[in-house]
Structure 1
Amino acid sequence: MAYSYALLFAILALASSQAFAGDPSPLQDLCVADNKAKVFVNGVVCKDPKKVKAEDFFFSGLHKPGNTANPLGSKVTPVNVTVLPGLNTLGISVARIDFAPNGLNPPHTHPRATEILTVLEGTLYVGFVTSNSNDGNKLFTKVLNKGDVFVFPVGLVHFQFNIGHSNAVAIAALSSQNPGVVTIANAVFGSKPPISDYVLAKAFQVDKKVINYLQSQFWMDNYN
């Protein structure tokens, strides 16, 4: 009987680990992304191993400050499988985030990745919000200084705001080769075609004129 319970527990543990896993584990030493492939798969097709070279695993540029001259005052420079083909199947990526004073990386989510943030320069106010529960949506915040680290769980809404008087820089590591990003305001008010103003007015419990005003604004992201 004890053996049966142990076996059941092991099976459940394996099932749980698969259910909450990030990108699939690689089944070979390397699978460099062939970004020119015409085949559509859940991921990226592998380049012919005979054509793989060291440059496929190399990216240069994170030493360069991002241009923060935009309404958000921030710039994200992602290094994912799109720009670093050697990341394909490895389940990891990285990004540099630059902030002007009062610069904001607005509330957003990464649907496929947990993010761990390290502050290299400056002071950031950061936080994330838990998903719906009986206790509502709980906000966790922290002020981070140079050398501090904070983690944002996968899929949860989070943000970073420069509360210092000088520029700030952070490096984010993410548990996916292609974590994706959904900027909340852009998705809700800037989708194309737009979400029905009736739907949004009912969701936010405001007049449709408020929704129409918000939808008429210029919604940008800080990745481009």
Structure 2
Amino acid sequence: MVISTQVLFLSFLALTCSIGLASDPSPLQDFCVADPNNPVKLNGIVCKDPKLVEAKDFFRSGLHVPGDTNNSAGSQITPASIVQIPGLNTLGISLARLDFAPNSIVTPHTHPRATEILTLLEGTLLVGFVTSNPENRLITKTLNKGDVFVFPIGLIHFHQNIAHRPAVAIVAFSSQNPGIVTIENSVFGSKPDIPTNILAKAFQTNPAIIANIQSKFLR
């Protein structure tokens, strides 16, 4: 009985520790400016020599410039992540500017490594996310200028400009590299294609319809 209790306790500790580490690790120094040219590969990016660090490593300009929304979705993401700001490396945060043409969308997607918090600067957006199985509950909210909304890590979510004028938002992430999985591209635009009979069964339709949808995505 004692051994069983100890095993159960150790298993609990292992589980709680793994949950605690399920995010960007805490930094162990003042900063670790990313050195993208370093050939060493690891979970993150190797630090630049601190003696070579400059103010520009922590700086990005241009977020006041509207993004080009002349695309099929009518929206544009302008990132301020580790690629644009190397000094974000190991700090566990990043952000982006979102621009929306009138009546446009950011299609359903997930961020596998980050929670997202959105602040609407101009316009009106309909936003929402879907909870996990089996509930699959849709939680939505109409946002106006100055409103804030949170999208929990890993959940499918979307943004839609429901007004006849442009909208602008700033989004922040709890990771230096939140990642993005757009649902339509992952399902219908994979390389190579997911077999049509699998998707037809999943979406309760026929393979010809699936093949037609897949043909619309660039390879």
Name the TM-score, length of structure 2 as normaliser.
0.91
Are the counterparts in 2 of residues 185 and 219 from structure 1 also a CA contact under 8 Å?
A: no
Unaligned runs of 5+ in 2: 1-7
Are the counterparts in 2 of residues 120 and 170 from structure 1 also a CA contact under 8 Å?
A: yes
In structure 2, what is the equivalent of residue 3 of structure 1?
none
In structure 2, what is the equivalent of residue 39 of structure 1?
40
How many correspondences in the alignment? 210
Task: Confirm whether residue 50 of structure 1 aligns to residue 51 of structure 2.
Answer: yes
Over the residues paired in the alignment, what is the CA RMSD in angstroms?
1.9
* 1:145-166 C-alpha deviation (Å, 9 max, x unpaired): 0000000000000000000110
Unaligned runs of 5+ in 1: 1-7
In structure 1, what is the equivalent of residue 5 of structure 2?
none
Question: Which whole-Å CA distance do the structure 1 matches of 2:39 and 2:90 have between them?
Answer: 18
> Where does 1:34-183 land on structure 2 (aligned, <5 Å)?
34-133=35-134, 136-183=135-182
Give the SS at the match of 2:48. coil
* 1:59-107 C-alpha deviation (Å, 9 max, x unpaired): 0111110000011000011111111100000000001000001110000
Are the counterparts in 1 of residues 67 and 99 from structure 2 also a CA contact under 8 Å?
A: yes
Question: Which whole-Å CA distance do the structure 1 matches of 2:148 and 2:168 have between them?
Answer: 13
* 1:2-41 C-alpha deviation (Å, 9 max, x unpaired): xxxxxx99x9689637515420000111100001111111
Displacement of 1:207 in angstroms is 0.2
> What amino acid is the match of 1:32?
V
Are the counterparts in 2 of residues 123 and 146 from structure 1 also a CA contact under 8 Å?
A: yes
Give the SS at the match of 1:144. strand
In structure 2, what is the equivalent of residue 4 of structure 1?
none
Question: Which whole-Å CA distance do the structure 2 matches of 1:109 and 1:127 have between them?
Answer: 12
Q: Report the CA distance shift for 1:159/1:13 in structure 2 as closer, same or farther (over 3 A).
A: farther
Are the counterparts in 2 of residues 32 and 52 from structure 1 also a CA contact under 8 Å?
A: yes
Displacement of 1:198 in angstroms is 1.3
Q: Report the CA distance shift for 1:65/1:24 in structure 2 as closer, same or farther (over 3 A).
A: same
Give the SS at the match of 1:143. strand
Give the SS at the match of 2:78. strand
Displacement of 1:218 in angstroms is 3.1
Question: Which whole-Å CA distance do the structure 2 matches of 1:50 and 1:78 have between them?
Answer: 27
In structure 2, what is the equivalent of residue 200 of structure 1?
199
Q: Percent identity?
A: 63
Are the counterparts in 1 of residues 188 and 217 from structure 2 also a CA contact under 8 Å?
A: no
Displacement of 1:199 in angstroms is 1.1
> What amino acid is the match of 2:196?
D
Question: Which whole-Å CA distance do the structure 1 matches of 2:175 and 2:69 have between them?
Answer: 25
> What amino acid is the match of 1:139?
L
**Structure 1 stretches of at least 4 aligned residues deviating more than 2 Å after TM superposition:** 11-18
> What amino acid is the match of 1:114?
T
Give the SS at the match of 1:117. strand
